[in-house]
Chains A and B, each alone.
Chain A
């Protein structure tokens, strides 16, 4: 990954949203709600996300865990934890998702 792309911006990453996307929940409740939704996507990849003390923990099926600050770090970390790549354009994954939706 390019150095520029890896320079994620901490807690003010775009995936954290802004006033424009606020839900009215407390920050902790919002992070928990976001983690629940994310797990619907992450589970089939063998990944689990949990809210943890203002941050998130990402756990792979092999037991490896990483602490991340924002959703933008999920996929780079998931690739490190699992040693595989994740492509949202993979037709086989899309077939699976369309089958269960």
Chain B
């Protein structure tokens, strides 16, 4: 089980997303069968293929709320808030069993960011719930086509903490590595797991996350592998932002900002809030390990679009890692310009070669 973060007793909310037919509900069904996840409530966002997913999930768990709205952006906020608070109150009043986790299954075409925003921005929700792993399911038979055709599919991959590659057993063998390479390039900070419908997923998919003090170091180490991907792909760490590379899909790019001197928290906060104020919609995901002035141990920050979570503490620097590393997954932003801005605002000397590091 996960260790609470400094006495944080909030309910973990996981977002489960993925395109139509990717196998979200099947995965959820198998996860909820695990004893360690028995105290999990489920919320489904209904849209389009009305009822089908709902009927399947309803057989699993009684504690289900079906959202009435058709999702997409801010409309979801009120429904989701009402559903979450209703479940919380009913649980506290003893009308339904207490639950320690809630899974929000999105519709196939949903951009999960507004759901995360709802959970993070609403003071009442934030008081009771914290955002856990965002799990995205991508199926091998249709994954590449969906990524090419739908920006929502790209966004679902870009914001994920865990990506489940499903249905490789019903696709040509060569398709799975092709899909994996594409997913790795779109989101180098996420863990990618192959899981056919006959395989039992581990509860770690939901349980091991950045809030878990014991898992945090490993989680951050995974983010930092984003740079290793860059070296694998390019054979060197520095990579010019304007060259063609495998990390460019549509115009979603993953890149890493690095700082060689400790940052002032005030300066960093002012810079990042300025960037998010103007370009928050273009920043799909941000995960960083920061070297902050006056702190011997590293500080962890992460967020989805405009929303950044409160910074967390990591006991020690991961082996071989020093200084600030921030993985950014953005749509339509020039990595070299973001790097230049990061360095200028944070009082770091400009890079001599003017190059940004691609992830």
Closest to A30 in B: B266
Contacts of B274 in A (CB 8 A): 74-75, 86, 88
Q: Is the CB of B301 within 8 A of A86?
A: no
Q: Is the CB of A2 within 8 A of B74?
A: yes
Contacts of B295 in A (CB 8 A): 20-21
Docked complex: B256-313 residues within 8 A CB-CB of A: 264-267, 269-275, 277-281, 292, 294-295, 297, 299-301, 303, 306-313
**Is A26 interfacial (CB-CB < 8 Å)?**
no
**Is A46 interfacial (CB-CB < 8 Å)?**
no
Known: A71-B266, A88-B271. A23 touches B294 (CB 8 A): yes
Q: Is the CB of A21 within 8 A of B121?
A: no
Q: Per a CB cutoff under 8 Å, which of B77, B269, B310 touches A71?
A: B269
**Is A29 interfacial (CB-CB < 8 Å)?**
no
Contacts of A34 in B (CB 8 A): 265-266
**Is B174 interfacial (CB-CB < 8 Å)?**
no
Between B275, B303, B310, B338, the greatest number of chain A beta carbons within 10 A of the residue's beta carbon is seen for: B310
CA distance A9 to B310 in the complex (A): 11
Closest beta carbon of chain B to A65's beta carbon, Å: 18
CA distance A34 to B271 in the complex (A): 13
Q: Is the CB of A89 within 8 A of B273?
A: no
Q: Per a CB cutoff under 8 Å, which of B264, B300, B313, B344 touches A19?
A: B313
Query: Which of B62-70, B89-97, B238-246, B345-353 touches A?
Result: B345-353
Q: Per a CB cutoff under 8 Å, which of A4, A15, A89 touches B74?
A: A4
Closest to B271 in A: A88
Q: Per a CB cutoff under 8 Å, which of A20, A38, A94 touches B270?
A: A38
Q: Is the CB of A89 within 8 A of B278?
A: yes
Q: Is the CB of A86 within 8 A of B278?
A: yes
Known: A7-B122, A88-B275. A21 touches B117 (CB 8 A): no
Interface residues on B, range: 35 or more
Closest to B293 in A: A23
Complex A-B: 27 CB contacts under 8 Å: A2-B73, A4-B306, A5-B121, A7-B122, A8-B121, A9-B123, A14-B301, A14-B309, A14-B310, A14-B311, A15-B272, A17-B269, A21-B295, A37-B266, A38-B266, A38-B270, A41-B345, A42-B270, A71-B266, A72-B269, A87-B279, A88-B341, A89-B275, A89-B279, A94-B344, A97-B344, A101-B350
* Residues of B that sit less than 8 Å from A by CB: 6, 73-74, 77, 114, 117-118, 121-123, 126, 264-267, 269-275, 277-281, 292, 294-295, 297, 299-301, 303, 306-313, 333-334, 337-338, 340-341, 344-345, 347, 349-350
* Residues of A that sit less than 8 Å from B by CB: 2-5, 7-10, 12, 14-15, 17-21, 23-24, 33-34, 37-38, 40-42, 71-72, 74-76, 79, 85-89, 91, 94, 97-98, 101
